[in-house]
A and B are shown apart, each in its own frame.
Chain A
Amino acid sequence: MNLALMRKTLADYGLIWLGALVLLSGFVILFVFATHSVPMEHSREWLQLPWVKAFLQAMVGADMTEGFSPTGITSFAFSHPFTWVVLVTFMLTLTSGVLVGEVDRGTMDLLAGLPVSRTAIYASTSAVIVLMGLPLCWAMWSGIALGRRAVGDDDIAMDRMQAVAWHLFVTYVYVACFAMAVSAFSKRRGNAIAFAFAAIFGSFVLNFLCAMWPAARTVEWLSFLHFYTPLPVARTGEIIQKHMLILLIGAAAWWTLGLVVFRRRDIHAA
């Protein structure tokens, strides 16, 4: 780890991080307002539509109509497309910017002239990306708490939402480590973004496909979203240890692969 490099990375991406934080908090507050303003009967009715049911089941990891509750509906904010768009955009901007982005714009040559090992570059930037993700995931929880207070809805169980925020964070770490590995072996930043985005988007497609087409379920484990299930976690308030473990092992595997590649690769002139 190199503190100077961590500070530099924080300063480099601080503004983007702040933007993502504001967007996520604001979105969740609005989400609580919106769900509170719709009567529960209407929501239940709407959720009975077969395609809506399947779509939501794919996103939150369980049938939302069973044990229908404000907490269950609010957990959908943790896997809402807007949440993913913000998180994935933030992750891809950072992970592609710190390794292949430095190579692409020629600043890696400057770093390579300093007494900082490639392992330290990789570990320091990874640490910053992971640390920045923690407040982002907890901004979701804080947003719900603020929205809940504003609308005066005490039916949302905030203690159970903490487990969902942790689950989101571990999923964030998995995707960030995968994107770091892609950045480590890419020659151009554009290629890294395209490849990582295609893989993440593919995970979403596979996840929906499994919900609509039972034959696809034999390969559902290929999608990281299979192990991200906010609704079952919100119902019990307990972390699904198996899912967390799989995501963490996967993250460690991607991270290590990226490190090995980055330590061995040639750094060409920009």
Chain B
Amino acid sequence: MPNHNPNSACIDIRGLYKTYGKVHALEGVDLAIPPGVIFGFLGPNGAGKTTTLRILMGLMRATAGHATILGLDAWRDSTRIRRDVGYLPGDARFYGWMRGTALLAFCDRTRGATHHAEISRLIDAFGLDARRRIRDYSAGMKQKLGLIQALMHRPRLLILDEPTTALDPLVQETLYDELRDSAKRGQTVLFSSHMLSEVERLCDRVAIIRKGRIIENATVGELRQRATTELAVRRVEFTLRNGRFPELPSALQGGPSGDGRWSGHWRGPLDGLLPWLTRLEISDVMISAPSLEDLFREYYKDDGATSAERKAV
């Protein structure tokens, strides 16, 4: 890609707005994704993930703001950008009358017909029966086909919209390995997901979007740290000897999980929790840092406040 500094952001989004009539899908998204990272893009349905990815792919035009990929304008230069980008749409659909091999050959021809070896390797790696007609494929097989067509030309940037949908755990592992290898080769991976566990396992950085705004953009480690220090949330689990649950302080939320066991979350400084626990007859207790899932839940209770806004409060 000409004129692109390899050290500058692979994706640079500034003040991105998108409205559909009266609906504001994006409200000033700012995001910079450095090269060579696996970047997780998290958010619930309707938060603006897919709209952002579609603007990046040149499928939609932003109402305001600017998005560049590899130094090129996402709308104006979209054809040039796509030479170096692999894209998996959220709900990948194909031509049912084609066989898997024919579809991959078609995609390859548009890219110069030079990726036959990589296509064969990926077909083997994902265990796809590419000789069958696509109309006979299961949802998982279609997803594999979509992934192969996105990965086959070893693009500098991979944009994957919920790539693990419909994949069984073994194929998910294969995909994770492929993505880790891609990042090792210097490729950048941007993927959206609802699966917090895979984001935790795979990503170098994470952005969380809510109601069209980025409310968090940090490394997974920073997010965990932030959960403990800023949100002051801890996971609490204990087992009662007598099985009688006491009245809970307001900072503790949760409920019995069976066999006299209780689990929930404590919000606030620990010096409020420890004296309360000592008054109980408990056989064991565990206080741990929150998982990314806990954090995610906290963010979505928080009416879209960014980390900066929370600090200000």
Query: Which A residues are within 8 Å of any B CB, using their own CB?
Result: 2-5, 7-8, 11-12, 105-107, 109-110, 112-117, 120, 264, 266-270
Which A residues lie within 8 Å of B78 (CB)?
117
- Do A113 and B150 have beta carbons less than 8 Å apart? yes
Using CB atoms, name the residue of chain A closest to B107: A114
Which residues of B sit under 8 angstroms from A264, Cβ to Cβ? 61
Judge whether B223 is part of the interface by a CB distance below 8 angstroms: no
For the A-B complex with A113-B89, A115-B110, A266-B60 known, give 18 more contacts whose Cβ atoms are closer than 8 Å.
A3-B109, A4-B110, A8-B106, A12-B97, A105-B93, A106-B89, A106-B92, A107-B94, A113-B82, A113-B86, A113-B87, A115-B79, A116-B79, A117-B79, A120-B79, A264-B61, A267-B54, A268-B60
List of B residues within 8 angstroms of A3 by Cβ: 109
**Which residue on chain B has the smallest CB distance to residue A108?**
B59
**Contacts A4-B106, A269-B54 given; does A114 touch B111 at CB 8 Å:** yes
Contacts of A106 in B (CB 8 A): 89, 91-93
Q: How far is the CB of B77 from chain A (nearest CB, A)?
A: 10
Which one of B58, B86, B150 lies within 8 Å of A112 (CB-CB)? B58
The 6 sampled A-B contact pairs (Cβ below 8 Å) are A8-B95, A109-B87, A112-B82, A113-B89, A116-B79, A268-B60
Per-residue interface assignment for chain B, residues 99 to 118, with 1 indicating a CB less than 8 Å from any chain A CB and 0 otherwise: 00000001101110000000
Nearest 7 CB-CB pairings of A with B: A106-B93, A113-B87, A4-B109, A109-B89, A117-B79, A115-B82, A115-B83
What is the interface size of chain B, counting residues whose CB is below 8 A from a CB of the partner? 32
Q: A264–B59 Cα gap in the complex (Å)?
A: 10
With most chain B CB atoms within 10 A of its CB, the pick from A2, A7, A8, A105 is A8
With a CB–CB cut-off of 8 A, which chain A residues contact B95? 8, 12, 107
A114: B residues at CB distance < 8 A: 82, 107, 110-111
Q: Which residues of B contact A (CB under 8 A)?
A: 50, 54, 57-61, 78-80, 82-83, 85-95, 97, 106-107, 109-111, 146, 149-150
The 8 Å CB contact of A269, one of B61, B83, B90, is: B90
CA A266 – CA B50 in complex, angstroms? Answer: 13
* A265 nearest CB neighbor, chain B only: B61
B93: chain A residues within 8 A (beta carbon): 105-107, 109-110, 270
CB-CB under 8 A from A109, the residues of chain B are 59, 87, 89, 92-93
A84: shortest Cβ distance to chain B, in Å? Answer: 28
CB distance from A182 to the nearest CB of B (A): 21
Smallest beta-carbon distance B100→chain A, Å = 13
Q: CB within 8 A of B92: which of A11, A110, A116, A268?
A: A110
Using CB atoms, name the residue of chain B closest to A112: B59
Q: Which residue of B lies closest to A15 (CB)?
A: B97
| Minimal Cβ-Cβ distance residue in B for A264 | B61
A78 to chain B, nearest CB (A): 33
